[in-house]
Amino acid sequence: MQGKVCVITGATSGIGLAAATALAARGAELALVGRDPARGDAVLKQLRAQNPHLRAAVHYADLSCMDQVRRLAQELLAAYPRIDILINNAGALFPRREVTVDGLERTFALNHMAYFLLTNLLRERLIASSPARIVNVASRAHEDAVLDFADLNIELDYTGWTAYRRSKLANILFTRELARRLQGTGVTANSLHPGFVASRFGDNCEGVYRMGMGLAKRLFAIRPESAAETIVYLASASELEGESGGYFARSAPAQPSSAAQDEAAARRLWELSAGIARIPA
């Protein structure tokens, strides 16, 4: 990883920060993406204390807003002549249905559309930097989910858990179709389940959601450093050179749900997402 440029979204806390810390120790140059400048400054100070020669910068954007994703992509393309690794990690669960400035349900916007749009905007730079890798953080939460293509915005029967599970299914479907489209370019794409993590995930919730999430973390969650191991493995392992379209857990291939292996659904999601993002399908 020495000298390789690694873009990581959701990099100022949780598993994103843990992955950044591990990749910095391996010599990577970090392009961290976050929302909070105060937290970003603290993270940079922490990382540089651990690695005095580290090359790193923080870029700020609200990834649930497509205009900010576009601005971020322009900033990254201007700052980095090459991009070797893209780790799409930023995500959240929203207990109440919210709509973004783009008219999208916020979970779908942040957890799926940000992955889709940022990846496509950086795609040519990744290809020019090949061999390069794209790592998409998904979740086992996808396992009983089914996408409703007539209601991607979940206007009917919304729950935060339903929206989150569908977004994680979308991550895996996106990865499969992305890998198919990247064949022959030298760029690979894989997704993963990091585990249930003791991070800031769910801290934006209130009431019963927040209490339940807090209790579950205390009882069952693993440390961010452990959860980040699969991210780091997919980003750096030499034995994965050329491996693409897979889904991993605990740094090993895993079997996603049958819905996550539906190639027709993957193509349809891509085409609908491209229409939403107003980019060529």
Q: Which residues are catalytic?
A: 164
Chain centre distance of CA 103: 21
Angle at 48 between CA 191 and CA 15, to 5 degrees: 25
Q: What are the φ/ψ torsions at residue 208 (nearest 5 degrees)?
A: -60, -40
Q: What CA–CA distances, in Å, run from 42 to 11, 17, 36, 53, 114?
A: 12, 11, 10, 17, 25
Write 270-274 long-range contacts (CB < 8 A, 24+). 270/116, 270/174, 270/177, 270/178, 270/181, 272/149, 272/152, 273/112, 273/113, 273/116, 273/117, 273/174, 274/116, 274/120
DSSP state of 134: E
Q: What CA–CA distances, in Å, run from 99 to 102, 107, 128, 269?
A: 8, 9, 36, 20
Cα–Cα distance for residue pair 206/212, rounded to 1 Å: 10
Cα–Cα distance for residue pair 3/82, rounded to 1 Å: 11
HSE of 85 in the Cβ direction (CA atoms, 13 Å)?
31
Chain centre distance of CA 117: 12
